[in-house]
Every structure is written in structure tokens, then in C-alpha cells.
Amino acid sequence: MDALSRRDDVLEWVMAESVPVRCPACRREHLYAAPTYPCVCGAPVTPPLDRLAEPAPVSRRTWDEHWVTVRCESCDREDQWPAPELGCSCGTALRIPVRGVRRPQRAQLAPGAVGEANHDTDEDTGAGAAPDTRPHPAIPDTRPQPSDVTSPEPRPAFQPVTIRTARDAVTAAALYLRWLGYRDIRRADQRPPSGIGLAARGILAQVDPTVRPASLRDVECLWLTAMSESAGCVYFSLSGFADDARARADSLGVPLFVLDLTGTPQPVNSPADELMADGA
């Protein structure tokens, strides 16, 4: 299948999920299509919209309500994606209902827990899968020898999400962290001085979608917070970094990435180059 045919298939899929949405505040009608996200297998994943349920105004935002767990129809994998929302011209933010998905419960995701959804559970929790408790070989002679170990398969090409809003920037950074190999990506427990904090096992990320370059203080605060949690850190900025911030990041070993509008993080220092090459 060529790229043009694949694009047409994706567009047809998205348009098929378009639903009419009426704002309960001003009664204005909109035609809404759910955003499509790239699964790690390369297939597009779109939250299935519930045509029978009414949209709900967003009066306050919580982490649990901001994400939904959606299953990829191609590889049967479940991942967490932003819950569909629509901004009405009257100023009301509307959360669009989805069907057949589970909401991840942040309270049930302990730091360091595996973030893959458990296909066998009947509870609507979105909690991580149980750890593998099967016994592993303990006899030295049965363990793989260095000559028997094969090289890991290369990662697939990163599939970016076009950045139009601050939420898109956070989504792009979360997708990139997942592409690097990090799992259980969630909102960081400690809110950074600016931007949005994301966390996964062994990593703390800061996403700055503002129009000013990240400052020296921003980089130092991220590094200090990561040190207090015995984790690594990475900084994503939409507007780049001040010169002194880049210099301090180099001395501290903090990877810096600039988010271009295509949603592809671009490394701007050596630690970022190493992270992009080695992954999690």
C-alpha cells in the first residue's frame, strides 16, 4: 500500500467517526472527528466516539478524566491516549463521550508500575498488568551465552502528531517517550515551575509549550527534582532554550529536545543525541 492510499484510508476512518456535537451552553452545533494517534505497530488508533451520549462541559480537569485506554484493532495492544475534547466558540470546553474504553486510574498506578493494560481483568480500572512471576532458569549452563544473544530489533520510525495546541505538545512528548521505550507514562506528581511534568519508570520529563525559551532555572529545577526521585530527566521545549540553560544542561547531562510543529522532537545537545540513539 503506497503512502497516498494509506493516507486516504486513515482519512476515511477518521471521517467515519465524525459525530454532530451540540454545545449545551449556547446550543451551537459542531461536527467533531476524533484525533487519530499512531500505535507502536504503525496502525492509526482513534478513540471510538459514542453517538448516543451527550457531551459534557469540562468544569474542572483531573488526570484520570484526561486519558482513556483504547485498543488497537490491528495488533490488539492497549495504550492510553488523550480523551477527546472540543472547544466551542462560546468558550465552553466539551468532553466527547467514547464507547468501549477504560479510563486509567492514576491512584492505582504506583510509581514504577508497568503501564500496560491487563486484557484479562473485568474491572474498569485500567490498572497495570500483574508482574511476571513465572520462575526463570537459575542454572548457569542454561543461560544464554554472549555469542547466543541476538541484537535487539531496531525501533520503528517515530510517528509524530502535528502540534497545534499546548495539549498537542504534551501528547507529542508522551509519544516520543513511549517510542524511546518508556512505559507507564503519567502526569508527574510534582508540578514544575512552568510547563507540564510527565513521569515514567526511571525518567522525569518537562514539556514547555510556551513561546519563551526555557531558562536556566527551568533546567536546574527539573534536574534537582529528578535527583530527589533518583530518576533521569529530559526537557522538551517548543521555543528552544536560553544559552545559559543549554550550557547548564550539558554540564548536568540533561537531554534537551526542541519540539517542531510536526511533533518531532529534535535533539539539541549530546545527552539528547545519546538518549535518542540508545532509548530507555
Query: Mean pLDDT over residues 80-103, rounded?
Result: 76
Domain termination site, one of 57, 73, 107: 107
Same domain, 102 and 181: no
Nearest to 111 by CA among 197, 221, 171, 185: 185
Does the structure show a pLDDT above 70 at 124?
Answer: no
Is the residue at 7 inside a domain? no
Amino acid at 271: P
Residue carrying the nine cell digits 504506583: 110
Nearest to 260 by CA among 175, 164, 157: 164
Same domain, 188 and 271: yes
Cα–Cα distances in angstroms (integers) from residue 91 to residues 25, 62, 83, 159, 233, in the given order: 9, 19, 18, 31, 36
Provide the grid cell at 271. 545527552
Tell me, what CATH number does 269's domain have? 3.40.1350
Is the residue at 143 inside a domain? no
Phi, psi (deg, nearest 5) at residue 106: -65, -30
Whether the Cβ atoms of residue 96 and residue 49 lie closer than 8 Å to each other? yes
Structural domain for 25, as ranges: 12-107
**What pLDDT shows up at residue 279?**
86
Domain termination site, one of 84, 107, 130: 107
Provide the grid cell at 205. 520529563
Domain termination site, one of 87, 107, 127: 107
Helix axes 216-228, 243-252, angle to 10 degrees: 20
Is the residue at 115 inside a domain? no
**What pLDDT shows up at residue 17?**
54
Query: Mean pLDDT over residues 54-66, rounded?
Result: 70
| Domain total in the chain | 2
| Whole-number average pLDDT of the chain | 75
Total residue count of the chain as it appears in this document = 280
pTM listed for this prediction: 0.49
